[in-house]
Amino acid sequence: MTYSTSIKTADGLPDLSYKPALGRNIGSRILTIIAGLFAGIAVLPLILVLGYVLIRGASKISISLLTELPPPPGLEGGGIGNAIIGTFVVTIIAGLVAIPVGVGGGIYLAEYSRSGSFSQFIRFGTNVLAGVPSIIAGVFIYGTIVTSRIVFGNAYSALAGGIALSILMLPTVIKTTDEGLKLVSDDLRRGALGVGASRFVTIVRITLPTAFTPIATGVVLAIARAAGETAPLIFTALFSPFWSDGIFAPIATLSVLIYNFAIMPYEIQNELAWAASFILVAVILMLNLFSRWLGRFASR
């Protein structure tokens, strides 16, 4: 197929220079502007939320806020130190449960049963679990662990909250581990097996270290999601205005503190809720930036 043009240069060749006045170029600029406008609108809510939380909460940050207990309703002073520690405790428990199980599940899917019917069922179940509302995980743990008091006779506890959050972390960890291991070249596996290494040694010494960065990125994203959840913790970890009595007792977390204090009719508690919101958003933002850095590091 040949193309012709009515505009030619002095040498008799077609003039291929950019012509802003052409209709197609004008239409292209208009569509580019519209696409950029829509992209800005899509990012605008994030900017507004971050800006508003920064304005309302950043000014309240102080040493006492980070180290003291919440004050009684309506009284001045106090902080959210117990909620900060509780958030880290519950998230660590969730990670200790979800990361080994999720990485192990991803290894099975990628290395042992790539196309079997059971692996397809696991992948389908993982996708479904990723879309399940977080409150369902909380209700499930409430019915199986909290009400049954199966954990040493305790009802609400940090352990129950961590297990509920681990359910939300599992799909992300499994899927990123599965996809990360698929990126490892089969030549590495064949080379290891060719020199006499077992499949287990090949996975531990070759494929897992090679896929460490994408797997770690998925783990960080899963932790970021779990740290900001509220509904599962209301049903499982509940809340405590005191320092933690251990993982088998109710524990304060930032997300539940925000929920409880935001609906109180006291200005002091409302201000603490904004300060907790700023800290929680900052932690989640740093985790997401860290995961982005890991992703860029992996692409080098």
CA angle 186, 173, 296 (to 5 degrees): 70
Whole-angstrom distance, CA of residue 169 vs CA of residue 176:
11
pLDDT digits (tens, 9 = 90+) for 165-215: 999 999 999 999 999 998 888 888 888 888 888 888 888 888 988 888 889
CATH of domain 84-254: 1.10.3720.10
Q: How many CB atoms lie within 10 A of CB 81?
A: 18
Contacts 24+ apart (CB under 8 A), 46-51: 49/281, 50/281, 50/285
Give the pLDDT of residue 1: 43
| Cα–Cα distance list, 273 to 68, 70, 84, 161, 226 (Å) | 14, 10, 12, 21, 19
Global confidence as pTM: 0.83
- Sole residue written with tokens 């609906």: 263
Taking alpha carbons only, the member of 154, 158, 115 closest to residue 246 is 158
Residues 232/164, Cβ–Cβ less than 8 Å: yes
The residue with tokens 């992209």 is 39
Distances (CA, A) of 25 to 28, 32, 133, 169: 5, 10, 46, 47
Summarised one tens digit per residue, pLDDT across range 270-287 is 999 999 999 999 998 888
> Where along the chain do its domains lie?
84-254
Query: Tell me, what's the pLDDT at 299?
Result: 59
pLDDT averaged over 10-residue windows placed end to end, the chain, 300 residues: 52 69 85 94 91 88 91 86 94 94 92 82 90 92 91 87 94 92 87 86 88 88 89 92 89 93 91 93 87 71
The answer to whether 280 touches 252, Cβ cutoff 8 Å, is: no
Tell me which residue of 64, 78, 59 sits closest to 266, measured CA to CA: 78
Q: What is the pLDDT of residue 300?
A: 62
